[in-house]
Amino acid sequence: MATTRYLLQGPRVAIRHVCRQDYAELSALHEESAEMHRRWLDARAITLEAFESSLARLEQPTHEGFVICLLDTSAIVGGVNVNNIVRGALQSGTLGYTSYASTTGRGYMTEGLGLVIQFAFDQLELHRLEANIQPDNASSLNLVKRLGFKREGYSAAFQFINDEWRDHERWALTAETAQASNHRIGN
């Protein structure tokens, strides 16, 4: 059996870049999670064409796409994109992430997003990661709080999702804050 080469791994999950071969698994996961995603994401089924164009976007230096996999089975349990990467004096990126209905609420996302954050600061040499979250998306707010993000502000009518401009809270983490909170929890 071929061993998967991961970028980073934790106790239960590992991360790697998303690839063309993930289409069937991801499209089944999106389908089973349609109800869970509906409130928060553009929850249309991913066609092969849409998947191919998102892979093309991820080949640009402004985007990085990851999947979170279980270490024991290599099944995908989450997806994370670092979008809108700006270099120069900013070195920043915006996070998008999702877990899936059959494996949500078990801490896989917390561990996996933590690995993506580590990769973004250490390997991609970013300095700031931002997450924009609808104020009533409690699971997402809990997730970023657990990972040390700080609330920076409120953006009215920030993003067009499911036929409406939705308000979002802006949360962010800098490399220094991440390092300080890692020291506090003894890593």
Ligand X SMILES: CC(C)(COP(=O)(O)OP(=O)(O)OC[C@H]1O[C@@H](n2cnc3c(N)ncnc32)[C@H](O)[C@@H]1OP(=O)(O)O)[C@@H](O)C(=O)NCCC(=O)NCCS
- Which residues sit at the interface with ligand X, rule CB under 6 A? 36-37, 40-41, 97-99, 104-110, 133, 137, 139-140, 142-143
At its nearest, how many Å lie between ligand X and the CB of residue 141? Answer: 8
CB of 112 to ligand X, least distance (A): 8
- Considering the complex, what minimum distance in angstroms separates the CB of residue 183 from ligand X? 20
Dihedral sign from CA coordinates of 69, 75, 81, 87: positive
114/112 Cα distance (integer angstroms): 5
Q: In whole angstroms, how close is the CB of 136 to ligand X at the nearest point?
A: 10
Q: Which is nearer to ligand X, 23 or 40 (CB)?
A: 40
Of the pair 98, 174, the CB lying nearest ligand X is at 98
Comparing CA positions, the residue from 29, 83, 39, 28 lying closest to residue 61 is: 83
CA dihedral 27→32→34→35, nearest 10 degrees, is -170
Rounded to the nearest whole angstrom, what is the least distance from the CB of residue 97 to ligand X in the complex? 5
Please tell me the distance from the alpha carbon of residue 164 to that of residue 85, in angstroms, as a whole number: 26
Residue with Cβ nearer ligand X (85 or 95): 95
| Residue 41 or 75 having the CB closest to ligand X | 41
In this chain, which residue has its C-beta nearest to ligand X?
107
Q: Taking the complex as a whole, how short is the minimal distance between the CB of residue 134 and ligand X, in angstroms? A: 7
Token pair of 154, please? 């409120």
Residue 16: strand pairing partners: 67
Q: Which is nearer to ligand X, 6 or 40 (CB)?
A: 40
Q: How many other β-carbons are positioned within 10 Å of the β-carbon of residue 113?
A: 25
Of residues 139 and 179, the one with the C-beta less far from ligand X: 139
On whether the CB atoms of residues 151 and 186 are closer than 8 A, the answer is no
> Where would I find the beta strands (DSSP E) of 44-163?
64-70, 76-86, 92-99, 128-133, 150-161
